Structure 1
């Protein structure tokens, strides 16, 4: 039987709230090994860019990453945010190692082609180095990935953290029974966006189409759900969406997604 592996992606609203972040990391540290953490840091990057006089450009909620923005993102994601998380996890007894996709060639990507919009230095993932990641996991290290990849030609690329988490879960599924957790500020996928307790406990292919038809799943939740089903179709065991309490052993109020 395959060993279980948890891949957890932490959302920006949790990253920005120090109390929430500390509780999340405590919960994460209590998860059984092996585990992997993925984070972004877009809101923090936007704040630092503003302080430096660099205007952040967005379109439909997605960041346009020009050369100056990439410098800020690298500082925030790969530096301040990543190393703070690693240090906090060490204090909790989790032997974490901070990584970008360039480290150990762990996540390879290419610059997104220009179509209607030029997203700049944004990467779409080509593959992950599961062999090296497995080597880290086997020696009891917990990888902490920031949302930066590379193209193998010296160019760093800003890459969606949800997608990195999904591709890591897919890439590691050949050896492990992988569960993908998307941890953000809501308790799960909500039946009623105005009611934080209206969590849809289980979603599968059948009721997902119904939820789409009723417009219950829309806007920012759509790409997250697309990542979920893409992962499930590529041998990921299950995907869970919820807030920081989702990782607690006695928690049952979150959304589980299966095929």
Structure 2
């Protein structure tokens, strides 16, 4: 089987059914023409925000990551592994894409540990056993994977979806595209930067050009490029007319390049 394509979808895209239909239509076309499996990894931050607000619980972020206390992890799990995952699967079914909803914990796909005790139930994912996911891909089924993981001690963990996608791409040795609500990395004048290596990206972070949640995305993309030994692209899901071009291998966002030896 050809190298699978891992697509990380930013949670805000779940608010737009039309965008999701365009995306799954592009995935269906891609799978039919490229004969290459697709894995969709997702977050769902806006759903978590809505739920916590409705429950009158505080939502705090630190360095772009959601602080997840013990008393909130069950709600976060329900929003991501439950509501968000099934909303995406419903859109996949409408578009004629066969799918299975999963989490990072299923069949040992990733190994998850606590990232930082100060963040609470926030995890870090490492590549695990991809045999079950590979079996699904061989059957023409698209895995839709939430960013909820479980540690070896059975603790639920909320994993940043960009970092989760990197771990999954490592597990399946796949290509990776990070889709978000931004076109890629912009310079100080608002222009798209077509390609970045680690040194250039770190300079932009130090210069406060790349800030907040985008830092997490950029660092995840750089890690993935280095680990996989191939360019990783960050692009937008907002421009649906570019999705087919993106899946066909064209660069429509910012490519992150592995560091030369």
TM-score by length of 1: 0.85
CA distance in 2: counterparts of 1:203 and 1:141, whole angstroms: 33
Please provide the CA RMSD for this pair. 2.3
The alpha carbon displacement at 1:139 in A equals 1.8
Q: Is the 8 A contact 1:54 1:68 kept in 2?
A: no
- C-alpha change, 1:186 and 1:58, in structure 2 (3 Å) is closer
> Match for residue 183 of structure 2?
187
The alpha carbon displacement at 1:211 in A equals 4.2
Aligned length: 248
CA distance in 2: counterparts of 1:102 and 1:7, whole angstroms: 17
> Match for residue 242 of structure 1?
235
Moved more, 230-239 or 213-222: 213-222
CA distance in 1: counterparts of 2:204 and 2:192, whole angstroms: 13
The alpha carbon displacement at 1:215 in A equals 4.5
Q: Is the 8 A contact 1:170 1:236 kept in 2?
A: no
The alpha carbon displacement at 1:8 in A equals 0.6
Q: Is the 8 A contact 2:64 2:212 kept in 1?
A: no
Within 5 Å, give how 1:12-31 maps onto structure 2.
12-31=11-30
TM-score by length of 2: 0.84
> Match for residue 172 of structure 1?
172
Within 5 Å, give how 1:64-83 maps onto structure 2.
64-83=67-86
> Match for residue 201 of structure 1?
194
CA distance in 2: counterparts of 1:227 and 1:61, whole angstroms: 12
Instruction: Decide which of 63, 66, 77 is 1:63's aligned counterpart.
Output: 66
Q: Is the 8 A contact 2:100 2:142 kept in 1?
A: yes
> Match for residue 127 of structure 1?
127
> Match for residue 217 of structure 2?
224
Unmatched tracts of structure 1, length 5 or more = none
Matched, 1:233 2:226: yes
